Amino acid sequence: MNERIAVVTGAAGGIGSATARCLARAGTAVALVDIEAESVTGLAAEITAAGGRALPVRCDVTDPVQVKAMVRTVAREFGGPHILVNNAGILSDSELHLMSRADWDAVHAVHLRGAFLCARAVYRHMARGRWGRILNLSSVSSLGAAGQANYAAAKAGVEGMTRALAVELGPLGITVNAVAPGFIETPLPQGAGGSEGAGGAWSAAAAETAPVRRAGRPEDVAATLAFLAGDEASYITGQTIHVDGGLPLGRLSLDGCGVEN
């Protein structure tokens, strides 16, 4: 993956920072994009000190002007981009009777509009070299989760957009895939107030329910994203890969029907 340039949005967060580190270790230069520039300067210094190349870029992915400017900055400073990881995310959980239009719009703006704007801004750069990878973060919650009508709908939308863009961009040498994590121990679910956000309790429940008997780590997701970003994944497109320890399967199982453990 030498000489490839990646844009990772939400790079200050749990999964974003793990993904940036993982890509950098593989020789990819990474643009660390986040809504707060200061939040990624430490990570940029860490990657640079380890011999990698990293560029902190402030950008609110919901804003088309900022997204265009961000991609221009990356192309000017680093070249590319060849890889986009649409990872920025927020939660605004509540049950339907309490969910405001602002809760709905804010979650859709970051996950769905943000991913669309970033994909639209980078794909021509990828098409020029007839090689590109667009990776979108979905979630196990796209299957439906109480208190997350906004988030589940946005993530289901991300999966639909992934398939549509895979069809459109495949002939240009660009693959488009989604990764759907289960419960991953990061600030996002820990800090939120709804069903996914019951913090430690949710983490413990995930560890108990998932067949692999642990909550996920950011590195679990990062490794999958890095594989999909590489040459060896060139025949995979339009897919959603679940990185969830089998969590939804564990939920379906009947008590007493499993093996002794």
**Rounded to whole angstroms, how far apart are CA atoms 7 and 211?**
33
Contact between 184 and ligand NAP by CB under 6 A: the answer reads yes
Q: How far is the CB of 38 from ligand NAP (least distance, A)?
A: 10
Q: How far is the CB of 230 from ligand NAP (least distance, A)?
A: 20
- Please pick, from the candidates 87, 92, 162, 177, the single residue that binds ligand NAP as defined by CB under 6 A: 87
Active site residues: 151
| 129 exposure class (CB count in 10 Å sphere: 0-12, 13-18, 19+) | middle
Contact between 89 and ligand NAP by CB under 6 A: the answer reads yes
Contact between 202 and ligand NAP by CB under 6 A: the answer reads no
Site for ligand NAP in 59-78 (CB under 6 A): 60-62
**Rounded to whole angstroms, how far apart are CA atoms 38 and 120?**
26
Q: Taking CB under 6 A as the rule, which mask of x and - marks residues 19-38 in contact with ligand NAP?
A: ---------------xxx--
- Please pick, from the candidates 42, 144, 160, 187, the single residue that binds ligand NAP as defined by CB under 6 A: 187
Give the neighbor-by-neighbor strand order of the sheet with 174-181: 54-58, 29-34, 5-9, 83-86, 132-137, 174-181, 240-243
Residue whose CB is less far from ligand NAP, 15 or 83: 15
Nearest Cα residue to 136 out of 184, 85, 182, 90: 85
Contact between 13 and ligand NAP by CB under 6 A: the answer reads yes
Give the chain's length.
Answer: 261
Contact between 15 and ligand NAP by CB under 6 A: the answer reads yes
Listed ranges 77-85, 167-175, 184-192, 245-253: which one lies at the site for ligand NAP (CB under 6 A)? 184-192
CA 29 to chain centre: 18
User: Residue 34: helix, strand or coil by DSSP?
Assistant: strand
Site for ligand NAP in 90-109 (CB under 6 A): 90
Q: What are phi and psi of 241, to 5 degrees?
A: -100, 125
Q: Are 83 and 133 in contact (CB under 8 A)?
A: yes
Q: Which residues bind ligand NAP (CB under 6 A)?
A: 9-10, 12-16, 34-36, 39, 60-62, 87-90, 110, 114, 137, 139, 181, 183-184, 186-189
